[in-house]
Amino acid sequence: MNQPTEHPQLIIKRYNQNGTTFAHCLICSTVPNNAESQYREDLFSDYSYSLNALAQLKETLKKFIESKWENSGQNILEKISIILDIHGYNVPLENFEKNTYEPLERKFQADTSGKYFDDFVIFINFSWPSESVLKSQWIDWLRAMPLMLQLLLIGAVALIFVFRATLLYSLGLILGGLVLCLVALRLVVYFRDRDRAANHGVFDAVELVRWLHVILQEILQEKALHSPEAAEHLKSDPEFFGVVNLSFVAHSMGCFVTTQMIRILSDIFDPSAIMRWKTTDGPFGGTDTKRSLTAEEIVELSKIGHFFTLKSLILASPDIPIWAITTGHSNFLKSCLPRFKEAYLFTNDADMVLRLASTVANYFVFPSASRIGGYRLGNLTLTKNRSYGMINVSDKDLGVRAFTRNINLTEKPFYSTSDVYQFFTVVDCTDYQDKLVTNSGLQGRRLSVLTANNSITNLLNYTATSICHFLGIGQIDSHGGYFRGKFCLDLIYLVALSGKAKLPPNLNMELKKHQIAWIETCNNQTTHIAKT
């Protein structure tokens, strides 16, 4: 086995070539689960394979560009699309490979078998370091426990066994409960995954995009050696070759990775980034420069580097604060969303992983002064009675459903006057029903148990969905069911690959059949789909 002299930051673990115009690969960050480990040993055996897959991908991309080059290579890159699929929390590599990459591999093989496409697509499943809840730390949590916590635990045990039926006994129970609570927070690995996402997943994903940019540049440089015109354009006007469509599909905590990555990829001193101030009051206020972006400026904002343009952003059950689409300093999507030509938000009001686990975990870290303020973006929904199909709503129809009442984004505590959410097409899948991708049987609910159209039945729906989700009853998956039902899975990857321009004409009918609400706000400037 040939081991690298320096550990690579990324490795291609799986690679599948579908014809000459579709490449599908699983690219992994090599960061280990624990800081003490020098390298991910389970990826060492893939190093030689990774180099071979890398060479194959570069050669296939090079042959495609050569086949479309014609004379000068003008706009050649516009025939290439790259989609990055980024997973969420509690998804170790083994599970990601088995439950995401392999089903997609079978799907793509079936969809592309015997077909030739005029455009070249690179679909990348990106695995950032994550680990399973409760499965990998039964010894490590004790060895890693700080001395202060060890002393508290020993003291609590001593108080419990020595001073029975006294006030000190109660103190021991409190101290022991405190330590066990902290141990439980470690065992659910939420904060460990959050740290990996912020400090490794984001930056490794940035390096992946930069690596793709370098590959394209190298191929164009090689072609330019035989074309003086192309060489001149590559030196002075790289946009002559067009831009590659770059899209993202992200789930749960992967939405945090994606949005942070986009902010890093956007050069803060680039003229197109500074141009965003023209649509705001700037960092110090002042309304004299506020105006709307022109079509040309929107195109300029979407450019990343010399060869990329941001096309589609698909966020499914995003584990980020709902404040991200409201007015205020908690809004970190405002600089990200306008850069995409299209943005989609797949949500589920009854996503109990976000409602219960995520809100509890973030209670310790997110600076919210109210329970409603701690809700996550993945729970955004219609606050009035649900309807299905393609619908337009006002800014008073979107919000969150609490246990006893519904709160839209314009009410307390949000008081939102921002139009950030209008950049999204919200796809409310709360009542989604479909057969499983691997099952040809009868249709059944996949994201919630009941249809809850008022506050009275909300609590019953949340309770039933929680029981079914966490006990695995009835194939209910309130957090990841988008990727288990055939129609929703196809819809996600259709908008990632083709966008709104190629949506099927019978989409409205299919949405109603599967009980999905495709929501455009009345002021959404990107809306160009007529009701069917």
Residue 35, token pair as written in the block: 């800081």
Q: How far apart are CA 521 and CA 525, in angstroms?
A: 9
pLDDT of residue 398: 86
Q: Which residues contact 473 (CB under 8 A, 6 or more apart)?
A: 467
Average pLDDT rounded to a whole number, residues 242-253 = 94
Q: What's the pLDDT tens digit per position in 86-124?
A: 999 999 999 999 999 999 999 888 887 766 677 899 999
pLDDT value, residue 385: 73
Concatenate the DSSP letters of all residues of 137-155 into one string: -TTHHHHT--HHHHHHHHH
Q: Which has more pLDDT, 419 or 176?
A: 176
pLDDT band at 194 (very low <50, low <70, confident <90, very high): very high
Which residue from 398, 304, 387 is spatially nearest to 345, judged by alpha carbons? 398
CA distance 390 to 179: 50
Which pLDDT value is given to residue 278?
58
CA distances for 210 relative to 67, 88, 206, 264, angstroms: 25, 22, 6, 11
State the pTM of this model. 0.89
Q: For residue 4, is the peptide bond before it cis, meaning its omega torsion is within 30 degrees of 0?
A: no
pLDDT at residue 272 greater than cutoff 70 = no
**Nearest alpha carbon to residue 399 among 385, 381, 387:** 381
Q: Which helix (H) or strand (E) holds 212?
A: helix 202-224
Place of tokens 């067009």: 242
DSSP one-letter string for 60-85: HHHHHHHHH-TTT-TTGGGGEEEEEE
Going by pLDDT thresholds of 50, 70 and 90, the confidence category of residue 525 is very low
Q: Mean pLDDT across the stretch 307-318?
A: 94
Instruction: Please check the confidence at residue 45 and state whether its pLDDT lies above 60.
Output: yes
- Interhelix angle 47-68/202-224, rounded to 10 degrees, is 50
Q: Helix, strand, coil shares of the chain as percentages rounded to 5?
A: 45, 15, 40
Q: What is the dihedral of CA 180, 182, 186, 191, to 10 degrees?
A: 160
How would you class 216 by CB atoms within 10 Å of its CB: exposed for 0-12, middle for 13-18, buried for 19 or more?
Answer: buried
- Whether 471 shows a pLDDT value over 50: the answer reads yes
Pair of tokens at residue 98? 């088995």
Share of the chain above pLDDT 70, in %: 85
Q: Inform me whether the pLDDT recorded for 324 exceeds 60.
A: yes
Which tens digit of pLDDT belongs to each residue from 139-193?
Answer: 777 788 888 888 888 888 888 888 887 888 888 888 888 888 888 888 888 999 9
* CB-CB contact of 28 with 43 (8 Å): yes
For 362-405, write each residue's pLDDT tens digit.
Answer: 888 888 888 888 899 999 988 877 789 999 887 678 888 887 77
Residue 255 has pLDDT above 80, yes or no: yes
Percent of the chain with pLDDT over 90: 36
